[in-house]
Amino acid sequence: MKMKNMLKTLIGGLAATLISVAHAQTGATGTGQTWPTKPVRLVVGYAPGGVADITARMVAQKLSLSLGQQVIVENKPGAGLIAASDAVAKAEPDGHTLLHLNSGNAVSAALYRTLPFDTVRDFAPVSAMSLSYILVLTNKGSTLSSIKDVIAMAKSNPDKLNIGTVSIGSGQYMAASLFKAMTGLNLTIVPFKSTPALMTALKSNDIQVAFEVAAPVLSLVRSGDLRAIAISSPQRFETLPEVPTMMEAGVPAYQVTVWNGIAVPAKTPRAIIERLNREINAVLVLPDIRQRFADLGIDAHGGSAEELRGHLAGEIAKWKDLVETSKMEKQ
């Protein structure tokens, strides 16, 4: 009888253990340990070869190792990041389709009259990945060696100063528009199709100033071909410590961050979001990732899902206010 009771207790304990393990391995019960069960798509709204694509691929490669499934970058370029975002918004919320969420999504939410998705409601932010900033550039032979010079020129020559950026609706275009709004200057913002076209115009003096993210122009600044007179970061950028912030240079409260992160479709199980957040943040502290990002003029920067959700909402509100107050034409 004693042996039978012991055997019953042992069997009962074993059954409880097996049930506990089974529960721990199913995403539905709270931990998401069986995810992913197949390759994961990371949808990027830019063409291959750009900085966003390169950094996404760096992170995807590391995640492939830690998740035990291939993380495949899928490029879906298009105006306003609409094609990429719509594909993810409509995907199965099972953690196998990820969105490269970034500052362009916040701009699109503010600038487009209608979108086929809701940028806040239809996505669940997971984690930030990186931060970068806008450089204000002049030609190396220009007399404009500071923001104060730019402001003085615009005031003394109304409507004669041309600021170049890449396409309308880009973070660079919005950064230049914010500069114009905050200073009240009468100047013209000229959009170009690409960074090379923008740089050619600056060097030929077709434009006097350019606003561009640091990564694609960093080598030109370091070589002395272009002069960086300010940066949009809240503090001086470690990669270019000699360049003053816009706030230091004479535009109080001016700050623009170009950020990148990861989101999933709304209704993705919380357990999957939490695990993916842990894995991404673990990748972002790896020395080789931090160094490769730094070489591109980018800060590796993670954080919680809640922080990214709050940041996204704040960015949308910021750009909506700019669009409304400056009477910018909506797309």
Judging by DSSP bridges, how do beta strands 299-300 and 123-139 pair with one another?
Answer: antiparallel
Average pLDDT, the chain: 88
User: Do both 42 and 53 map to the same domain?
Assistant: yes
User: Hey, what are 7's tokens?
Assistant: 């055997």
Residues 143 and 100 in one domain: no
Determine the Cα–Cα distance for residues 212 and 220; give it in Å rounded to an integer: 12
Classified as helix, coil or strand, 189 is strand
In a domain, 16, yes or no: no
Phi-psi bin for 5: left (phi > 0), alpha (psi -120 to 50), beta? Answer: alpha
CB atoms within 10 A of CB 14: 10
Does residue 17 fall inside a structural domain?
no
Q: Which long-range contacts (CB under 8 A, 24 or more apart) does 143-146 make?
A: 144/208, 144/209, 144/229, 145/227, 145/229, 146/229, 146/230, 146/249, 146/250
Residue 267 lies in a domain: yes
Instruction: Give the number of other Cβ atoms within 10 Å of residue 288's Cβ.
Output: 9
**What secondary structure letter does DSSP report for 152?**
H
Pair 245, 266 in one domain:
no
Measured CA distances, 154 to 12, 147, 186, 320 (Å): 82, 11, 7, 26
> Rounded to 5 degrees, what angle do the CA atoms 74, 264, 298 make?
65
**Burial of 99 by CB count in 10 Å (0-12 exposed, 13-18 middle, 19+ buried)?**
buried
Query: Is 116 found in the same domain as 55?
Result: yes
Which two structure tokens, joined as six digits, stand for 33? 């340990």
Structurally, how many domains does the chain consist of?
Answer: 2
* Structural domain includes residue 314: yes
Write the CATH number for 81: 3.40.190.150
Point out the domain boundary residue: 249, 272, 292.
Answer: 249
159 with 79, same domain: the answer is no
Give pLDDT tens digits for 89-134: 999 999 999 999 999 999 999 999 999 999 999 999 999 999 999 9
Query: Where does a domain end: 225, 249, 273?
Result: 249
State whether 118 and 40 are in the same domain: yes
Helix (H) or strand (E) holding 214: helix 214-223
Pair 107, 140 in one domain: no
76 Cβ neighbours under 8 A, 6+ residues apart: 43, 44, 45, 83, 84, 87
226-284, pLDDT tens digit by residue?
Answer: 999 999 999 998 889 999 999 999 999 999 999 999 999 999 999 999 999 999 999 99
Q: Are residues 162 and 216 in the same domain?
A: yes
- Residue 266 domain boundaries: 36-131+258-325
On whether both 118 and 185 belong to a single domain, the answer is no
pLDDT of residue 9: 46
User: 234 and 265, same structural domain?
Assistant: no
- Judged by average pLDDT, the poorest of 17-21, 104-108, 207-211, 318-322 is 17-21
CATH number of the domain encompassing residue 235: 3.40.190.10
Residue 198 lies in a domain: yes
Same domain, 164 and 208: yes
Structural domain contains residue 2: no
Which residues share a beta bridge with 136? 211, 230
Is 20 part of any domain? Answer: no
The answer to whether residues 43 and 74 belong to one domain is: yes
- Residue 1 forms part of a structural domain: no
Tokens 């100033």, residue located: 209
pTM check: above 0.95: no
Q: How many residues does the chain have?
A: 331
Last residue of a domain, one of 249, 268, 294: 249
| E strands in 169-267 | 188-192, 209-213, 226-231, 257-265
